[in-house]
Amino acid sequence: MSNTYSQINIHCVFAVKGRENIILDHFRDQLFKYMYGILKNDDIYVMAIGGWLDHVHVFFELPPSKRISDIVRDLKSTSSKWINDNRFIKGRFRWQEGYGAFSNSRSQRDRVIKYILNQETHHRKRSFKDEYFELMLNYKIDYNSDYLFEFYDFK
């Protein structure tokens, strides 16, 4: 019997609805651990989860039997329910629709993992908006700005 083999690394990024800065210190690490558990229970090998106040990065191997859209949909819906059930924030937590998904070769793994785990330091110098546009540019993704995340300029 033959088997299916693959090695597809996906760096996925998604944001909080309205780009609110509400993924706070008091539950951020728990959220990332919870997300890891969601993915692990779905037989997805996770290499890194990180983020900052208004967004999350997830780096995982894509199994050949799964679709990125299904993985992200389930991760977002389950994690937002968990945040709401635990009342980590005032009001209702929601993720924005959509996400970015970028493939990376095995040789890029260490760099991507380090980048994701270093989000707090990274965002002292640059905004999520700048970071996201740079990802789109680096991966040469054509996009329509009408269909990107809701970016707001906070003063």
CA 27 to chain centre: 16
**What is the gyration radius of the CA atoms in the chain, in angstroms?**
16
Give the pLDDT of the chain (155 residues) as one tens digit per residue. 578 888 999 999 999 998 889 999 999 999 999 999 999 999 999 999 999 999 999 999 999 999 999 999 999 999 999 999 999 999 999 999 999 999 999 999 999 999 999 998 888 888 877 887 788 787 788 877 666 656 554 43
| DSSP state for residue 126 in the 8-state scheme | S
Do 55 and 16 meet the contact criterion of CB atoms below 8 Å apart?
Answer: yes
The candidate with the shortest Cα–Cα distance to 88, out of 19, 17, 37, 26, is 26
Cα–Cα distance, 130 to 79 (Å, whole number): 25
pLDDT of 116 reads 96
pLDDT of 143 reads 74
